Amino acid sequence: MKSIVTLFAIALVIAFSATTSFSKDTLFQYLIKFKNHPDASKNKLELVDFGLKLKEHIGPNKQIYVYTAPLELSQQALSSLNTRNGIDWIEPYYQIQIPIPVESTQKKSPALSLSEPYHHQILETKKAHKALKDGKEIIVAVLDTGIESTHPNLKNHMWTNSGEIAGNGIDDDKNGFIDDVHGYDFYNNQSSAEDDNGHGTHCAGLIGAYPTDARDVFGVMPKVKLMSLKIFNQYGQGKLSTAIKAVLYAVRNGAVILNNSYGSPNPNKSLRLAFKAAEKLGVIAVSAAGNHKNNNDTRGEFPANFDLPNIISVGSTDAKDTHSSFSNFGALSVDLSAPRDQILSTHLHGKLKSLSGTSMSTPLVAGVLGLVWSKDPSQTYREVIQKVLNGSDKLDLLFGKNYNLARVNAYNSVKEKKIKNLYPLPEKKWKEESLDIQSDHPYLNNSRASYIVEKSGAKYIKLNFDKIHMESGYDFLEIINSKGVIVHKLNGPFKDDLSLIIPGDKLTLQIDSDSSQTEYGFKISNFSWGK
């Protein structure tokens, strides 16, 4: 496993891009984590000199401080504060705004046959339901625009806080939230987490809608409790603090899977801390890889790209079971893919709509994980994830698009089948040879140095890196296959045991550096090949 806020629902031919914007109530807010250091108290007092005023505590154990300022801090001021002995980090508190999801212009979803929606055919959902038989109820939290709790296809699957008496204005269960019956609206800080956008209701339906007649929509999970955690307003604007609060609320109230159909290019440390707390409690966070055609190996999308074992990054496939042209990808950073095209699901006012995007792919994966977990709730989150990865269909057209060349399959996952991997080859078919290829340490500015690896007769070459570190965001190590195509573009530091498989008998490693800072570069002392 490799491993706020943008919703990922798009029309079939439109790819949305996130636009950072600010509103008056979030314009100059900062998230600060203090160290357990003698200078911390002094540093807190120093913040006054910068015009910062404490607003609230959030995060695990309330260790994240939200400060406000009448004026925006300069980059120099931020850098200065980040060097204080008592400050772990200070980071801007952004508000992200995205376009409203677009309804598909086509009346019907693509179909392999007329018997059932194409995504259920690909996932073999009905077969999975029959194989599961008596699954246990699993709580899945949907961090989104809320859920329409009265929707005919959802109302009986809504999570209900048994310790709370609805409408009495009292925090009956003493969890810090009043009348949080089906979840909570963290954006508006109120009990009702009803959807006023439609995106969250659509995602919830993909996870756990139940049919009201034989021809109606249904979700991946026949037994589920959907927790509604509203972190966006009706326009798709979300506050970073709402996402952090929602993650912690979910895990404290029994959710074992978090659906995150949103993202940001900002690798926020405070949000990562919340997901780390979820990991310690054994909770899976399923996250959209994004809809910007980006390579997440070089330009991350968060929370999908957080380096946490409980985070599953989801790309998307189209109706032809190939990688979606708009979907973000990553040979190292995206775990698996799921269908996304014109998927019919629940929407506002008791109605249905077809939408496309990794927003749709993500809840499908969340549903499959929930199916596997409901079979045996005593399983660890790692066991559940591995069974879903093992049971996913392996598609060679996903090479370079996700780490496992995998498109999720509900039936195989429930049956605990282990689908044969296309890559790598079985261990016994690999032959290892010594190889001494390395860059200068550090590599040079404005470098275009190339290194060739060739093995006659090889079907695949596997590079085993001793070490690799390129300047993040600016310098790249490109890996070019025998056809002259760049199949990997590595940027930043990686684990020292990184291995990459490239089809063919020849490849080229090429450094592409700019005119400023350089890092270690790379070193390879051996490679493997198979045929």
Per residue in 420-448, pLDDT tens? 877 667 777 889 999 999 999 999 999 99
The H or E element containing residue 391 is helix 381-391
- Which segment of 27-31, 79-83, 154-158, 324-328 scores lowest on mean pLDDT? 27-31
The residue with greater pLDDT, 228 or 19, is: 228
Task: Name the residue among 300, 322, 326, 323 with its Cα closest to residue 313.
Answer: 300
Residue 109: pLDDT above 60?
A: no
Strand order in the sheet with 406-407: 183-185, 224-230, 138-144, 257-260, 284-288, 311-317, 336-339, 406-407, 393-394
Catalytic residue IDs: 144, 199, 359
Phi, then psi, of 267 in degrees rounded to 5: -80, 70
Band the pLDDT of 23: cuts 50, 70, 90.
very low
Q: Is the pLDDT of residue 344 over 50?
A: yes
Give yes or no on whether 27-93 and 427-530 have one common fold. Answer: no
Mean pLDDT of the chain: 87
Backbone angles phi, psi at 48, to 5 degrees: -60, -35
Per-residue pLDDT for 220 more than 80?
Answer: yes
Produce one character per residue of 294-332: b if its CB has 16 or more CB atoms within 10 Å, e if not.
Answer: bbbbbbbbbbbbbebebbbbbbbbbbebebbebbbbbbb
Q: State the burial class of residue 46 (Cβ atoms within 10 Å of its Cβ: 0-12, 13-18, 19+).
A: middle
Q: How many helices (H) and strands (E) does the chain have?
A: 10, 28
Q: For the CA atoms of 520, 83, 300, 333, what is the dihedral angle to 10 degrees?
A: 60
What is the Cα Rg of the chain in Å? Answer: 24
Report how far residue 517's alpha carbon sits from residue 471's, in angstroms, rounded to the nearest whole number: 7
HSE value, Cβ hemisphere, 13 Å, CA-based, for 68 = 8
> 187-214, pLDDT tens digit by residue?
999 999 999 999 999 999 999 999 988 7
Question: Which CATH code fits 118-414?
Answer: 3.40.50.200
pLDDT tens digits for range 260-281: 999 888 888 999 999 999 999 9
Domain-wise residue ranges, the chain:
27-93, 118-414, 427-530
What is the model's pLDDT at position 4?
45
Averaged over 473-498, what is the pLDDT? Answer: 82
Tell me, what amino acid is at 506? K
When pLDDT is averaged across residues 512-517 and rounded to a whole number, the result is 91
Res 8 pLDDT > 60: no
What would be the CATH architecture of the domain defined by 27-93?
Answer: 2-Layer Sandwich (3.30)
Residue 398's Cβ-side half-sphere holds a number of Cα atoms within 13 Å equal to 35
> CB-side exposure of 137: number of CA atoms within 13 Å?
12
pLDDT of residue 335: 95
Q: Which CATH class is domain 427-530?
A: mainly beta
pLDDT of residue 108: 52
